[in-house]
Structure 1
Amino acid sequence: MSMHIISPGMLTTVQDLGRCGYMASGFQQSGAMDRFAAEAANLLVDNSEKDGVLEMTMLGVKVYFDEDNVIAITGAEFTPTVTDFETGEVTELPINRAIRIKKGDVLDCGSAKSGLRGYLAVAGGFDIAPVMGSMSTNLKCKTGGFEGRKLRAGDVIPLRHPQGWLFSMVGRVYEPEKRTDGTVTIHVIPGPQDDYFSDKGKNTFYSEVYSVTADSDRMGIKLDGAPVESIDGVDIISDGIVAGSVQIPSAGKPIIMMADRQTTGGYAKIATVITSDLPLLAQLRPGGTLRFKKVDLQYAVKRIKADKKALKKLQTNILRADTFTSDS
């Protein structure tokens, strides 16, 4: 019971919600860059929201299964198709809903029309042994996921409990908020070292439109734009870094630390991106633009509660649809 990789895409790794509790020992958290999309994909196929998924960057995987299965693709706007094993007929597939895939049929996840990272969940999950409590791939340490690396053509990913059908297939639909084109507003809480920066520097940080550079990755999103002025340099005694920490190195150009960030850093952090906006950052392509907006902790908590409510609503809708639908 396996998924066979015909083509691995540009950068595809196994990820879940991250390797929590080990940063004090120097191990990066890793995990899905767009955690919300990963959780939604798992819920669509009846997995735990913490289960492993494939994170696909720009170009998706092409695979086939040796058993019937149900899959879901969320995140970036990918263009999946399935090729019937017997007839060769190619059918376009929707995203953000559960889809049946027959044994031998070829699933081609296509490329992202918008956004950057897509998530493929399979019903029953991947049969991959966790490392320190997580399936997430840490590419730098070559740990976790599938052999600690990105996927390659010819890989065979074992499946735990493939499911050829799930109750309420019609109701397994997720309707994400539509992304708007143009500059994205990223909400941040000031600090913890915003006192290292001059009033001019802070004004620059909150008024400038920054662009994502091509050397951004899972470790950090590097920005280009007007430099942020410090009062007397940005070097600090190294301290802990969280997802969303906005470091200002000596050149003054912000770097937003993401899933594969280092555990500590020695540059002052002018602000911290709220958890609910990290998925927006995960979907920004090189050349995409953003601006920062200052908010308080109460706003951040309100947004997290709204995210949890949205995922709970997805679960409820699936159960409600099963009440009114005998089969689909």
Structure 2
Amino acid sequence: MCGVTADFRWTDPAETGNELRPAPLLDKDGLVVSKSPWGPDDEIGRLNWLHPQSVGAIIDRLDGRKVFDLAVDYFPGMPSWSEAGDPPFDIWMTHTPQGSIVDGRSGYGPEIHEKYSYAGDAISMYTHCGTHIDTLNHMGYHGLFWNGWTADKHLGSKVWTKGGTDNYPPIIARGVMLDIAGAHQVECLDDHYEITPDDLRDAARRQNVELRKGDVVLVRTGRMSRWPDRDAYLAGSPGINVASAKWLCEEAGAMSIAGDNIGLEPQPYHGEYAPVHCYMLATAGAQIIEVVNMEELAAERLYEFAFVGLPMKLFGATGAPMPCVAVPLR
């Protein structure tokens, strides 16, 4: 099959293939954009695996005596993706206590703010800044995105009308960390190192953990050991290659894959532009989570836990900040 099928008949998932390898809408140059097995209105892909029973089974096992914060702080000058001119994180005051007395912009007189001190601020940033989740409208192939979305039909004047995190549930699932840097007995993998399926299998064997369908799989490169040094963190990042993404999604059944680096995959990648991203989002329907701090998990050798992520609900966005934690299981 080559090209985009404009008119197609929706069928049952059993008819189109299983959820690990959805049926293609486009198969061109070896690149596949998938039709969602969850139907024409699906906007969340593998997050459909979250349901009250799966969430309840995890919550019943929580051991909340210690919670591991996986998110990074936001501050001016923080490492962020700005290679293509995207804005860095910035914060500024919109109201200061003395300024409110001087300029009266609140509409109240100076005597009010001499009594009631008022401070306020605003932020601006790329939606893929800090610890965040990539949505399925972020990347595709040949102008086609997950479940048949196209810019002509589904992109408004400001945002997508499909695929934003406004549709996302809280992500509460079994989490597994594969400590690749630890398996190599290094603080951080070498620049540009490509994590292979053998690396993943070896780490799982060493850690004695089993990957299961519906897991959020965290892959540690050790890059967070260089945070918050911008140049050291961003330059030449290691990460998973396409074969590893396919193994995790199609064989291990990962619901989502998280990295501690800036872009999950190695930077740069053999002259290609984010092939791991395009595969996971357009082909597998699996969200990517980036800039996740796994250093405390690695120090504690905590490899299995409850992953709890709360994506900021941004209508139509290609990504969103996502506070997330790991909670040990009983």
User: Is the TM-score greater than 0.5?
Assistant: no
TM-score with structure 1 setting the length? 0.24
Highest relative contact order (Cα 8 Å, sep 6+), 1 or 2?
A: 2
Richer in helix (by share): 2
More strand by share: 1
